[in-house]
Structure 1
Amino acid sequence: MSGFSANLGFLWTELTLPDAIRAAAAAGFDAVECHWPYDTPVEAVKSALNETGLPMLGLNTVRGNVAAGDNGLAALPGREDEARAAIDQAVSYAQAIAAHNIHVMAGFAQGADARETFITNLGYACDAALPHGITILIEPLNHHDAPGYFLNTADQAAEIIEAVGAQNLKLMFDCYHLQIMQGDITRRLEQFMPLIGHIQIAAVPSRGEPGDGELDYRHVMQTIRSLGFTAPVGAEYRPVASTEAGLSWMQKIA
C-alpha cells in the first residue's frame, strides 16, 4: 500500500465522519485517519469504511477537559484513572472499526514525574492494544502550537519508546511539527525510521496544503519511500479554502 491518508480531523470538517470518509475515497485518498470519532456511532463508521474499502489508520485518545486547557492526559501525574479510561475508550473504538493505530496524547506537563507517568500509562496502553493488533503512537508537538506539551522532539520520543520497551509502541513522525522543532527532516527520517509507525505532512509554517512552504515534499516523499515506508502518509493539514479546492498538492508531491 502507498499514497496518502486523509486526516478527517482537518479535512471535510463540514461533513459527518461517515460522509467525510466517502469524500476522501471520491478524492482518491488511499486511507483515512481521524482525531476523536467517539460521538459518531461505530456502526456508521464501519459502514462507510466497508463501502469505500478505505482502512482507518488511526485515532487519538481524548484530550480531557478542553475548556480547562487539557490537550491529553497520559503524562499528567494524579490523573492516571482518566488517562486509562481514555485509553480503554480508544482501544474499544479502534478495535471495533479495525483502526491500525492509536495516538496516546501526553498533555501539558513537564518534569520527571510527568515522564514516569507517561511511561507507565503507555505501558498500560500497549498491553491493552496488543491483543487487537493495534499499535500505540506517540507524537512530538511543536512549542508554538502546543506550548508546554510534554513531548517535543523525536529524540525524546525515542527515549520514551526505549524506556517503555513494548513491541507495539511507535513514533508518529509529523514532518510539520518536527521541522519546526528540529529541522533536518531527511536525516531524521533516516535516523528514526526503525521507530516510525506513521508519518504526517503539512506545509511549514502555515500548516496548509503540503505543496507549499519551506519543505520540499517531493523530496521528502522520495526519501520516505526510499527508506521502505510503504504505508499511506497522513495529510494532516488545514485547508486554505475548501478541502476540494486545495487537493492539487497530491499530484505535485506524489
Structure 2
Amino acid sequence: MSAVYPLSSCIEWQFAEAGDLAARLRAVKDAGLDLAEFHLWRDKPIEAMAEALADTGMRLTSLCVDPRKSIVDPTERDAMVTAVRETIEATAILGKPNLIVASGFRVDGLSEEEHFANAVTALRAAADAAEEAGVMLLLEPLNTRLFATMYLVSTKLGLDLVEAVNSPNLRLLYDVWHSAVMGEDMATVLAGRIHLVGHVQVADMPDRNEPGTGTLDWAEVMRTLRAVGYDGAIGLEYFPTIPMAQSLDQSRRMLAG
C-alpha cells in the first residue's frame, strides 16, 4: 500500500548507516523515495549532495536557514536577512529547496504587538530576498517543551504572520508533532488556511518517532489533511526506532490511512 502523499526523508536523522548526507540521499533513493530534507547546511557536503541529487533525480524539499537568527529581535534583523541571502546563494546548487525559518526567542520587555510587528518586518525583508531568487521560505512554529521561551509556538500565530507578510514566497511549515505537543486541534488550526501551508512534517507522540509508535491517530491525521485540502509532500522528521527499511514501511502504512 502506497502513501497518499509523496514522502520526504529527514536524512539528518535517518539512513545514518549509509554515511554522510550525500550517501544518505542515495540510500533514500534506493529505498524508493524521491524526496529528502535536512537541517543546517554549513557543515554538510553540499557539492557531493548536489552530485547525488543529479545522479538519482531526487529533489530536496527543505533545509534550514543557517545560521539561525531571530525574527523578533531587531538587533538580529540584518543578520537574519543576511543568513537568508547566504543560504539562498550557497544552496542553489541543490535545486533551490524550500528554506526553513524559525522565530527565535522572546525578547524581554517587548509586548506581543511589538514581537508581531518585528517578526513581520523581518519576514518581509527575507521574503523579498526569496522572491528575487525564486525560493520559498517556510516559517516553522516549534514547541515550548523543547524551547521554553521560543516566540513562535502556535500554528495560528504562524499563519497570522504569513498572512500579514502577504508574500507568495512565504508559507508555513506545519509540523504535526510540534502542534500535538502544544495541544492544538489540527482540524481547527488548519481550517480555511491550508493555502498558507507549504509543507507538513510528521512524527508520533510523545517521543518523536515513526508513525505507529505512539499515541497519535494517524488515520485521523491523514483524513484531516485531505479534508482541509493539503496537496504537498509529507516530511518524515522523526527518529527511527527500528531499522530504516522497516521504519519506512511502517510509515508508509500509517500514512496511507
Which bin holds the TM-score, normalised by the shorter protein? 0.7 to 0.9
Distance verdict in 2 for CA 1:251–1:2, change over 3 Å? closer
**Which structure 2 segments of 5+ residues have no match?**
none
How many angstroms does 1:151 deviate by? 0.2
What residue number does 2:160 align with? 159
**25, 34, 40: which one aligns with 2:38:** 34
* 1:108 is aligned to 2:105: yes
Q: Give the alignment's TM-score, normalised by structure 1.
A: 0.88
Helix, strand or coil: the match of 1:56?
Answer: strand
1:126 equivalent in structure 2: 127
Q: Take 1:239 and 1:123, find their aligned partners in 2: how far apart are those partners?
A: 36
Match of 2:215 in 1: 214
Counterpart position of 2:21: 17
Return the alpha-carbon distance in structure 1 between the equivalents of residues 81 and 148 of structure 2.
Answer: 24
Distance 1:211 1:22, change over 3 A: same
In the other structure, the counterpart of 2:72 is: 75
Matched, 1:96 2:97: no
CA distance in 2, matches of 1:20, 1:32: 9
Contact 1:63–1:73 under 8 Å retained in 2: no
SS in 2 for 1:58: strand
Do the aligned residues in 1 keep the contact of 2:85 with 2:129 (CA within 8 Å)? yes
CA distance in 2, matches of 1:245, 1:2: 19
What residue number does 1:8 align with?
Answer: 11
Greater shift in the superposed pair: 220-229 or 122-131 = 220-229
CA pair 183-250 structure 1, distance change in 2 beyond 3 A: same
TM-score by length of 2: 0.87
Give deviations 1:32-82, integer Å, cap 9, x for gaps: 111112223432111111112111111111245xxxxxxx43322312232
* Structure 2 contact 10–236 (Cα < 8 Å) conserved: yes
Q: In the TM superposition, what are the counterparts of 1:192-207 in structure 2 within 5 Å?
A: 192-207=193-208
- The separation in 2 between residues aligned to 1:159 and 1:226, in whole angstroms, is 21
The aligned runs of 1:119-198 (5 Å cut-off) are 119-198=120-199
**Residues 221-240 of structure 1 correspond to what in structure 2 (within 5 A)?**
221-240=222-241
CA deviation string 1:207-253 (max 9, x = no partner):
01112222122332233234443322000011224434522323322
Q: How far apart, in 2, do the equivalents of 1:75 and 1:241 lie?
A: 39
**Residues 192 and 9 of structure 1, relative CA distance in 2, 3 Å threshold:** farther
SS in 2 for 1:231: coil
Change (3 A) 1:150 1:224: same
8 Å contact from structure 2 (residues 22, 45) kept in 1: no
- Distance in 2 between residues matched to 1:130 and 1:96, nearest whole Å: 17
**2:27 is aligned with 1:53:** no
SS of equivalent residue, structure 1 residue 40: coil
Report the equivalent of 2:252. Answer: 251
Query: Structure 1 residue 87 and structure 2 residue 113: aligned?
Result: no
Cα RMSD (Å): 2.1
User: Structure 2 CA distance, aligned partners of 1:53 and 1:222?
Assistant: 30
Return the alpha-carbon distance in structure 1 between the equivalents of residues 26 and 98 of structure 2. 20
1:7-33 Cα offsets, whole Å, 9 max, x none, are 122213452111111111112223111
**Equivalent-residue separation in structure 1 for 2:16 and 2:116 (angstroms):** 34
| 8 Å contact from structure 2 (residues 204, 213) kept in 1 | yes
Amino acid at match of 2:46: V
Cα distance in 1, alignment partners of residues 163 and 209 from structure 2: 33
Residues 1:150 and 1:216: Cα distance change in structure 2 (over 3 Å):
same
8 Å CA contact retained: 2:7, 2:233: yes
